[in-house]
Amino acid sequence: MLTRREEREQAFFLIFEKAFNSETELQELYDLAVETEIIGETAFVKELSFKTLENVESIDPVIEKYCIGWKMNRISKVALAVLRLAVCEILYFDDIPVSVSINEAVELCKKYASEEDKSFVNGILRSVSKEEK
């Protein structure tokens, strides 16, 4: 049984992987990751990763709105995947407290991104939480 943190991390893997495989359908990436046991087959992993990528056209403008002085293409792929996942949680998962989404995003950055990315992601998400909710 996976913890919610582990499930969130696995959803992050899929969102990050999709950035490098834009032509591949998400379902195909998901099925392959489950088959090769890179991720566990859980409802939350699937819902979070699919909802994030299905709504990327509405999530990215929210991120861009708070990237003062930054262009989206300058954000590292890791930080962007974390931001997309967390903004999706903030906007579309009412049962997850915003503070949890922000904390979990920062933890993902601590593990997979740079110190600069961690601070950047934290700042963007704090602004999103104040303005968008």
Q: CA-to-CA distance for 6 and 3, rounded, in angstroms? A: 5
Give the pair of three-digit tokens for residue 81: 């995947």
For the segment 65-84, what is each residue's pLDDT rounded down to a tens digit?
999 888 888 899 999 999 99
What are the residues whose beta carbons fall under 8 Å from the beta carbon of 111, sequence distance 6 or more?
A: 9
Q: Which is it for the CA torsion 7, 10, 14, 16, positive or negative?
A: positive
Question: Tokens 């708070």 belong to which residue?
Answer: 66
**Residue 133 above 70 pLDDT?**
no
DSSP 74: G
Domain total in the chain: 1
Q: What is the pLDDT of residue 52?
A: 97
The CATH number assigned to the domain holding 52 equals: 1.10.940.10
pTM, 2 dp: 0.94
CA separation for the pair 132, 122 (Å, rounded): 15
Give me the domain span that covers residue 42: 4-132
